[in-house]
Amino acid sequence: MHDLRDWTYDRHNTVDDTPYGGGPGMVMKTEPWGDALDEVLADGYEAGAREPVLVVPTPSGRPFTQRLAVELSARPWLIFTPARYEGIDRRVMEEYVTRLPVYEVSIGDYVLAGGEAAVLVITEAVARLLPGVLGNAESHRDDSFAPGAMADLLEGPVYTKPPSWRGRGIPDVLLSGHHGRIARWRRDEALARTVAHRPDLIARCDPAAFDKKDRETLSILGWRQGPDGRFGPAPSDVEE
């Protein structure tokens, strides 16, 4: 972690200025960011690090997804540039994209006061995919959005001891010891939760990702396969 003001040279340690063209807010200056990035990159390369990825949190960036977290987890080194105010002078990104990969990333359709919280979100999502971080290396394989069978699906409900709490039990199948039935139940619950909370994910799924049982479950949930092969809510039988 670095303090950007360490690369300022005026008595006020200025890191921002008014925007060209007018308008409210302040824009982060090129000089502090350029000097900071040059020094951090030089130190890393001197220590033998391979080419990093520059990650720029911004509401105008590409959506941060589990797929992107997996991609970033395979990179040897990440540099984050959390901005404040109206953001960083565009010329900084234009400069560094000529020297290394630059990913402008958004964690959601909302605006924060600064990019630090976004960096924490991205860091945690990426770090938990690294070997040795999780106690069980298989833990992330059934996560929501995990590559493979869970791609574009939300994880279903989970339960732990005690088996009864305030009169509420757990599904019998989870106590059955039948791994196939448990796996099917979890898959069905994932489909149901995704239909309820993120139907857009089901709609964009490759139909080939759904087996016969998946299709039966989606039919029960009121979804049908359209002419283009993709699944969507079944038309109402009642004409309005």
For the stretch 167-197, pLDDT in tens is 999 999 999 999 999 999 999 999 999 999 9
pLDDT at residue 141 tops 80: no
Average pLDDT, the chain: 93
Q: Phi and psi for 218 in degrees, rounded to 5?
A: -65, -35
Question: Residue 143: which of 160, 134, 155 has the closest Cα?
Answer: 155
The predicted model scores a pTM of 0.84
Question: Residue 104: which of 69, 54, 65 has the closest Cα?
Answer: 54
Residue 34's pLDDT is 98
Q: Could you give the percent of the chain with pLDDT greater than 70?
A: 95
Residue 137's pLDDT is 66
pLDDT at residue 238 tops 50: no
| Catalytic positions | 59, 86, 128, 143
Residue 164's pLDDT is 94
Residue 237's pLDDT is 42
**Tell me: the pLDDT tens digits for 36-83?**
999 999 999 999 999 999 999 999 999 999 999 999 999 999 999 999
Domains of the chain from N-terminus onward:
4-128 (3.40.1280.10), 164-233 (1.10.1270.20)
Question: Residue 115: which of 30, 64, 57, 36 has the closest Cα?
Answer: 57
Q: Could you give the percent of the chain with pLDDT greater than 90?
A: 86
pLDDT at residue 94 tops 60: yes
